[in-house]
């Protein structure tokens, strides 16, 4: 672990938690069983990233498109979310800050209340930042930021020529955070699926042939090792 720890310190890692349903179907189980197992992997990855000295993690938990799934599956995911939010107060003891990314409007009132409590309760924490993307979509986030800036222009508090990349980023759900260095996608898929579209401009993308419920600490070690082999030029030579 020592080598991985040296390589992981200070990173912002994004996780596209993919393959829960396929994992369950391969075992003749309901898709909801895959989400339950995936939630356990999520919790372990949070603990391991903390041990490695990772600065921030962003987990893609529920996208704006996931509402199209069967209602029973959506209900199961929301039940897991409630359980996580209830347990997440333990993370305060570890000095982690928890931030929910996404449009909270369509979520149930009890979930929104839990989210507000946990964000407020961990706001002053200075440990690892845990972003959980719920009802999140990269395009929606960019549209949300554009509308916020348009309102400021309309109100006369901002000139159009004052809008630059930094000003725009200040209106994103991740305002004030560093962009992700590494984005992982288990399950073998090779696309971002509307995840952190603005922030991932120069992130290193690693896809892995393992379904999320089977994802282990060793897989994360391998992804970080691959990341460190990359030559990040950021448009330079």
Residue 5 confidence (pLDDT): 64
Its sign, for the CA torsion 23, 67, 13, 208, is positive
Query: Do 12 and 179 form a contact (C-beta atoms < 8 A)?
Result: yes
Lowest mean pLDDT among 53-67, 89-103, 136-150, 167-181: 89-103
Residue 118 confidence (pLDDT): 93
Alpha-carbon distance 57 to 144, whole Å?
22
To which H or E segment does residue 6 belong?
helix 2-8
- Give the CATH superfamily of 12-228: Decaprenyl diphosphate synthase-like (3.40.1180.10)
Tell me, rounded to whole angstroms, the distance of Cα 178 from its chain centroid. 13
- The answer to the question of whether 233 is labelled as a binding residue is no
- The answer to the question of whether 198 is labelled as a binding residue is no
- Report the DSSP pairing between strands 182-186 and 12-16: parallel
Burial annotation 19-36 (CB, 10 A radius, 16+ → b, else e): bbbbbbeeeeeebbbbbb
Alpha-carbon distance 185 to 39, whole Å?
16
What mean pLDDT do residues 44-70 have? 95
- The answer to the question of whether 144 is labelled as a binding residue is no
What mean pLDDT do residues 183-192 have? 94
Alpha-carbon distance 208 to 229, whole Å?
16
Alpha-carbon distance 23 to 92, whole Å?
32
Cβ neighbours, 10 Å, residue 69: 15
- Angle between helix 31-52 and 71-87 (nearest 10): 30
| Positions marked active-site | 18, 66
pLDDT band at 6 (very low <50, low <70, confident <90, very high): confident
Lowest mean pLDDT among 3-7, 78-82, 111-115, 211-215: 3-7
- pLDDT tens, residue by residue, 150-181: 999 999 999 999 999 999 999 999 999 999 99
Tell me, rounded to whole angstroms, the distance of Cα 217 from its chain centroid. 18
What mean pLDDT do residues 16-21 have? 94
Alpha-carbon distance 88 to 46, whole Å?
11
What mean pLDDT do residues 134-140 have? 97
This prediction has a pTM of 0.93
Residue 92 confidence (pLDDT): 65
Residue 1 confidence (pLDDT): 60
Alpha-carbon distance 210 to 219, whole Å?
9
- The answer to the question of whether 204 is labelled as a binding residue is yes
What mean pLDDT do residues 81-101 have? 84
Residue 137 confidence (pLDDT): 97
- The answer to the question of whether 31 is labelled as a binding residue is yes
- The answer to the question of whether 52 is labelled as a binding residue is no
- The answer to the question of whether 7 is labelled as a binding residue is no
Query: Do 25 and 31 form a contact (C-beta atoms < 8 A)?
Result: yes
């Amino acid at each position: 672990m020592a080598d991985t720890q040296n390589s992981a310190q200070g990173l912002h890692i994004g996780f596209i938690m993919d393959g829960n349903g396929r994992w369950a179907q391969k075992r003749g189980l309901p898709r909801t069983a895959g989400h339950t197992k995936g939630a356990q992997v999520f919790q372990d990855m949070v603990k391991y990233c903390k041990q490695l000295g990772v600065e921030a993690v962003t987990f893609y938990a529920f996208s704006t498109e996931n509402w199209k799934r069967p209602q029973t599956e959506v209900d199961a995911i929301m039940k897991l979310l409630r359980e996580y939010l209830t347990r997440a107060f333990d993370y305060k003891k570890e000095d982690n800050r928890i931030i929910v990314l996404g449009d909270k409007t369509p979520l149930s009132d009890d979930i929104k209340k839990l989210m507000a409590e946990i964000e407020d309760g961990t706001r002053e924490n200075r440990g690892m930042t845990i972003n959980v993307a719920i009802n999140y979509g990269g395009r929606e986030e960019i549209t949300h930021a554009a509308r916020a800036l348009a309102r400021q222009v309309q109100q006369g508090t901002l000139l159009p020529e004052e809008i630059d990349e930094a000003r725009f980023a200040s209106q994103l759900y991740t305002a004030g955070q560093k962009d992700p260095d590494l984005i992982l996608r288990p399950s073998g898929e090779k696309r971002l699926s509307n995840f952190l579209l603005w922030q991932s401009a120069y992130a290193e993308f690693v896809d892995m042939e393992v379904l999320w419920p089977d994802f282990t600490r060793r897989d994360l070690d391998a992804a970080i090792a691959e990341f460190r082999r990359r030559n990040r030029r950021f448009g330079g030579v």
